[in-house]
Structure 1
Amino acid sequence: MMYKLVNCMERIDRQDLVSLSKIMKSQCLRNIKKFSFHIGQWTSGIN
């Protein structure tokens, strides 16, 4: 899952990254909280 995410990020060129960062800044904290929560559930499910 993480590998796919990194792979996707590598394909984004610099101009897309700039516009993406503008979008991400508006949603960043909320998404990080959601994402870290899902990662926490995912990793605890493995152990």
Structure 2
Amino acid sequence: MIRKNPDGTTTLLTLPNHKQIKSSTLKIICTQAGISRDDFIASDEKI
């Protein structure tokens, strides 16, 4: 999936289609999104 950003650029999004993903896959997704592991965990706990 590709996201179109407000500034006109695009970002490739990784969307796993299963309930469990490897920790390495999650790390890559967070790196691509520009968020830290701690920020991801904090946002997940809010859901």
Same fold (TM over 0.5): no
**Which of 1 and 2 has greater Rg?**
1
Between Structure 1 and Structure 2, the one with more strand by share is 2
TM-score when normalising by structure 1: 0.29
Bigger proportion of residues as helix? 1
TM-score for the superposition, normalised by structure 2:
0.29
